[in-house]
């Protein structure tokens, strides 16, 4: 599985070509201001790569962290197979957290 498979899975989820669980505590990862279902994206990417591996939450997180430079996960409420956008407060929080990380790396 490569980053291209992950990006295709993200695109498929945005276009409604992929279904995932609706629940109040779905583990999602943040990518470009949107929360995506962690296992569904990684498992779909695995299928696109002809690996057909069925990843657990931890396995999916490991695979994603292997491919992306920064991974943030959170339990999100998902309804009607609709992706959840980052709120303004979450955006500000992310900016502050990333700023702190950059400061630590450059000091």
Domains of the chain, by residue range, sit at 3-106
Q: What percent of the chain has pLDDT over 70?
A: 100
- Is 0.75 topped by the overall pTM? yes
Instruction: Tally helices (H) and strands (E) across the chain.
Output: 4, 4
Integer Cα distance of 19 and 12 in angstroms: 9
CA angle 17, 22, 24 (to 5 degrees): 145
**68 has pLDDT over 80:** yes
Report the mean per-residue pLDDT for the chain.
92
CB 55 within 8 A of CB 46: yes
pLDDT digits (tens, 9 = 90+) for 7-36: 999 999 999 888 888 888 999 999 999 999
pLDDT at 37: 96
What is the H or E stretch that residue 98 is in?
helix 88-106
* CA-wise closest residue to 27 among 97, 99, 75: 75
What are the backbone angles phi and psi of residue 37, rounded to the nearest 5°? -65, 120
Question: Pick the residue with more confidence: 100 or 62?
Answer: 62
Half-sphere exposure of 63 (CA within 13 A, CB side): 24
């Amino acid at each position: 599985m490569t980053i291209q498979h992950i990006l295709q899975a993200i695109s498929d989820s945005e276009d409604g070509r992929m279904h995932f669980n609706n629940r109040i505590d779905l583990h999602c990862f943040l990518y470009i201001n949107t929360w995506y279902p962690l296992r569904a994206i990684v498992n779909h990417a695995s299928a696109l790569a002809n690996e057909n591996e069925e990843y657990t939450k931890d396995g999916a997180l490991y695979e994603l962290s292997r491919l992306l430079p920064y991974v943030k996960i959170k339990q999100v409420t998902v309804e009607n197979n609709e992706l959840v956008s980052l709120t303004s407060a979450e955006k500000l929080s992310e900016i502050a957290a990333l700023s702190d990380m950059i400061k630590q790396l450059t000091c």
